[in-house]
Every structure is written in structure tokens, then in C-alpha cells.
Chains A and B, each alone.
Chain A
Amino acid sequence: MAEITVKEIQEELRRGIEFYRELDGQILAFLNRLAETLEDKYELVRLKKPFAKDLRQSSVVQSYLLLMKPTGAEIESDEVDDDAETEDEDEVDTRDLAFAPDAKLPYVVVQMFGRVPKGAEGTATPPFIQYGTLAVMGRKDGKELQNPLRMRAGYYSGVFRNRMCNPRSSPPYTHKAHKGGPTLKFMEQSTAVQPLGSIRAESDIEELAKKVAELVGTQA
């Protein structure tokens, strides 16, 4: 074990904090630019602004998530006056999403560590970008799905935050649609990964947006 002085430790601490703070900002900046491209060119609308997920028992950021609305989804806004619409996107968590049972649920996640999804092993190592779509497979109790499905947006992001980005979870992921609602089963429909290091310039973001749109099946 090398011996270093307090001053060197302090310098190392400072560098460490600055480095990870900048990395944090850069990943969110990348996801924001990706969200803009997806909206502009492919009409893939984000559900809320990109956010980070921490590990529960530690302060380490595990994933950064950009969630798009399910294909063909409507956000029910009966409680919100359109004229007085607020900008606080976290408020979307308390609203309901209505979408068809066969809708695709698109996402882009930057995984700082964890395992590469099955079928994509060998294509990337952490940190990597995982993108694709989930699909609703049915209800856990076996009953028929309603059409349209109604899901509270906060619970919707929970599927990704707490299930898909949880190394201890494996598909099919189960999650409630809303408080007291039915438990739904979600399956990975299409998934792809690429190393985070492959994003170097804005053209790489455009390229990634194109790939995401192809997976979701939307055209420019």
C-alpha cells in the first residue's frame, strides 16, 4: 500500500469529486440532446427529463434514464388546466398514461455498471448505453388486459427504475399499474447496447437516435 500525505489525499478527493461531477453533467447533457433529437426528428416524445437512479443502499449513481412515452400514448390531464400548465416535469409522475396493450415502451439508459442484457453480451462493457423497448405481456393474475391500459406515470417510470435497472431483477418484470391496480408483466421486446465511449460527437448522438427510432419503428 503506497503512503501518501494528507495534502495528496485532499487533492485526490478534489479531483475525484470534480471528475464525477463533470461526468454526471455530461451524461445528462448527452441524454438531453438525444431527447431533443428524438423529438425533433422521430417524434419520440420523452415522458420526463432524464434522471439518475442511485443504488438504494449507497450514494452511487447506477443508471441514467431517458424514458419516452409509450407509442400512441396519451397523458390524461383531467386534473391539470392546460392554460396553467406548469413546467415541472416531475408532476407528470402523478398523472395517468393511457396506451394500447401492444404499445412499445421505449427507453435509453446509461448503465454505469451492471450486467449487459442477455443476447448483447460481448458488445459492450460498463459503462454502456442500453436502448430498446419493453412490452406489456399481460397481467400477473392471468386476467385479460384492458384496452387502453391506464398506468400512473410514476409507476411507469418505476418499471424501468426499479425493475429493469435493478441487477437483481430479471425479465419478465412485474409492476403495478397504479396504487391498488393490477400487477402487469413487462418483457424486453428489443434491446441493444453500445459503449458509452462510442458517443464522442453530436453526429454520434444523431446516429444513436436513428437506431433508437428504428427499434421503436418510427421514421424520420
Chain B
Amino acid sequence: MFQAILFHKLDESLLWKHEEDILTSDVFGAFKYLPAAYLNAWIVRLRERHPLLKPAFEMVCGLPDVKFWPQFHAAKESRETCEPDVVLTWGNLAVVIEAKLESHLEVQQLQVERESTKQASMAGGLVAEVIVVAVGRHRPAWWLHQRQSTEHWLAFSSWGTLADVFHATLAERRAIGVEPEEAALVDDILVRLKIRGVEPFGFGSLARRGPPSRPHFVPCEADRSTSVFPIHTSAPQVRLAEYWPPITNLRMSLLDLAKRAPVHEMTQLVIRKSPQCTSGFPGLVEVGRGVPKRFAQVWSLELKGSPTIEYCISAWRIAPDGRLAKVWQPLVRGVRSVGVRRARTKEPT
């Protein structure tokens, strides 16, 4: 399952009812196979953030006994059974983990899980202390309201903190030499979390990579575009140096480009004619595509040749990805650009 999701053989969204459980299994299951340093690092983070739980967390030593989805008799009359996601047990301490991805954490559920685990453990004569760790994307809205009554038994960790822990602990262990299997497993978990939109914090890798501009790209002539482009990165304004086929094939060329480039989020099209004085070519037409709600506004592509604006528009109109209405409006004031709204329209004959 893990590899099937990692390599996109299995579409996790098809298992939407269970995606939370699958992620829980993958991430917390890894603690069974990794050295105790990873789990300890997570516990240390929890301990730092929850001072009242410090004495209990200090009972953590070595690898715990891990149980996934154990069923207990619910310590609540209205329910028969109670099933926390994971229970980690170290001697007299049980840490109950309730992990949520998109659904909501409810304080009542966490309370029942704590009491049920405590009852079950005490019946077995094992555990004296039970802590619940709620795991989610963000803290629940009730977190601070309920803090007074929950701070002695409830902790919170975001998925992001878990990603941070895996990332930082691996980096530390790499410095002292780590088994390749361990590194591979942690790397896979980080990819697994990334698929669900969870990444370890750090601008480091971005800073090393740098923004995707080429030094020889000429800054975009549209002042507004350059001024709004983040971190002073100009949209790459480039010219297609290849020969564009005759009119009948132009649509296919554009379409081909649209399909092969990762443009599934691009819904805006900007076309403008470049003045000969700036481009050096008469009748040069730029075709730009915008990325809504993203950073890049326009990635301009210049078409070497002399297709008319109307022709480019109609080419995009009949392209399956570009069902564009014939509503034109200037996108950038003072610049000869044409914005086209995305809308359903009749196919031209």
C-alpha cells in the first residue's frame, strides 16, 4: 500500500474514507521499524510544548509496545466500544494517539479514548498514566477554551511537527552515519507526507535551488507584471526559436505545449502583440498563461510568426483545455494585453 501510493499506482483519494487511517498507519507504523531516536525526538517536542505533561513524558524510555486501533469498552454509556488510532505503552505510561487529517478533533472523543484506555489498562494492572496526543493539520478551534480542563492529559502535534521530526532526526543521524534502509524509509515517509500537503519547515532547500529564472531572460516589459512578481523574479519572457508549422498545425502545437507543460492549473490566457522595436520581429505575438492563486502571473511565450490575436484566441478556444469565452478585457492597465475569461462556450465551426 505504501509503495503503491508513493508511486501513484493507487489513487488515495479513491480510498477517501480510509485515507486518514492509511496515513496514520504509514507514519506511526514507521516508529516500529525506526530507531527510538525518531520517536524520542517527537516526544521531546511534545514535552517542550506541554510543560504539565513533562513528568509523564519523562517515563518514556526506549521503544514502546505499539498497538494500532485497539478496541476497548467505551467509558461512556452511549457507546459500546472505543477505538483510538494508536496506543504506545512504556511501562506505566500509555500515550493514546488520535490522528485526523481533514476531519475534526472533538474533545469528547479524546476524553472517552483516554478514560477507556485507562480502564482497560488498569483492568490489566498495567498503566497508571494515560496521555492523549491529538494529531491534526491545525489545532482545533476549541483548544484554548478547553485548555484548563485538558492541559494535564492532552497534547497536540501537527503533522508538520512530525515531518520536522523525521527530517531533523534523519539529518542528525546522517551526520554520524546511518543505515541506507533507515534513510530510505524516512525519505519515503517524508514523500508520503508531502503527497498529503505536509512538509517539514525550512526555506533552506528553496534558497539553495533559487528561483527559476535564467540570468539572460529579459525582464518582462509589462511594468506591473515585473513589479508584482515575487522576490524580484521576472517572468521568463522567451521566444520560441523553432519554426512554427503552418496555420493548420498551429493549434496542435499550442495544444501540445499546453498538455505537456504542467499547466493544469492555468486558466488564464494573455495574448499581446510585441512592438517591433522591442522584439525585433514584426507582428510578434506573445501568448502567456496565468496560474490562478499562485505566484506566477504570466509566463510569456512569444510565437515567432504572424498569427493574429484572433487566430491565437480561436486556437485556444477549440483546444479542450481552453474553453474560453469571447470576453476580452485588459488584464493589465496600460499594457496591450488581452485577458480571456474561462467559461463554457460553443465550439467554433
If A9-B301, A23-B206, A85-B141 touch, whether A113 touches B212 (CB-CB below 8 Å) is: no
Residues of A in contact, count (CB < 8 Å): 59
Residue of B nearest to A39 (CB): B144
- What residues of chain A lie closer than 8 Å to B211, measured between beta carbons? 16, 19
| Contacting residues, chain A, for B199 (C-beta < 8 A) | 22, 25-26, 29
Q: Are A85 and B296 in contact (CB under 8 A)?
A: no
Q: Judging by beta carbons under 8 Å apart, are A202 and B332 in contact?
A: no
The answer to whether B212 touches A21 (Cβ under 8 A) is: no
A72-B295 Cα distance, complex, nearest whole Å: 36
B238-254 interface with A by 8 A CB criterion:
238-242
The answer to whether A87 and B201 touch across the interface, beta carbons within 8 angstroms, is: no
Question: In whole Å, how far is B280's beta carbon from the nearest beta carbon of chain A?
Answer: 8
CB distance from B101 to the nearest CB of A (A): 12
0/1 per residue, B91-128, Cβ < 8 Å to A? 00000000000001100000000000000000000000
A85 to B280 CA separation, bound complex (whole angstroms): 63
**A86 contacts which chain B residues (CB < 8 A)?**
104, 141
Residue pair B299, A16 in contact (C-beta under 8 Å): yes
In the bound complex, do residue A26 and residue B295 qualify as a contact, i.e. CB atoms below 8 Å apart? Answer: no
Interface SS of chain A? helix
Of A15, A59, A60, A92, the residue contacting B212 (CB under 8 A) is A15
**In the docked arrangement, what's the CA distance between A200 and B217, Å?**
29
Chain A nearest CB, measured from B334 CB (Å): 12
B304 CB, min distance to chain A CBs, angstroms: 9
- Assess whether A57 is interfacial by the CB under 8 Å rule: yes
The residue that A36 contacts in the complex, of B158, B204, B207, B236, with Cβ under 8 A, is B158
**B241, A113: Cβ atoms closer than 8 Å:** no
The residues in B between 216 and 257 inclusive whose CB is less than 8 angstroms from any CB of A are: 216-218, 224-225, 227-232, 236-242, 257
Which residues of B sit under 8 angstroms from A10, Cβ to Cβ?
257, 260-261
Report B278-335 residues with CB < 8 Å from chain A CB.
279-280, 290-297, 299, 301, 331-332
Residues A2 and B297 in contact, CB atoms below 8 Å apart: no
Q: Which of A8, A13, A55, A82 has the most CB of B within 10 A?
A: A13
Interface residues of A (CB under 8 A from B): 1-6, 8-10, 12-17, 19-26, 29-30, 32-33, 36, 39-40, 43, 45, 49, 52, 54-55, 57-62, 82, 85-87, 89, 92, 112-113, 126-127, 196-197, 199-202, 205
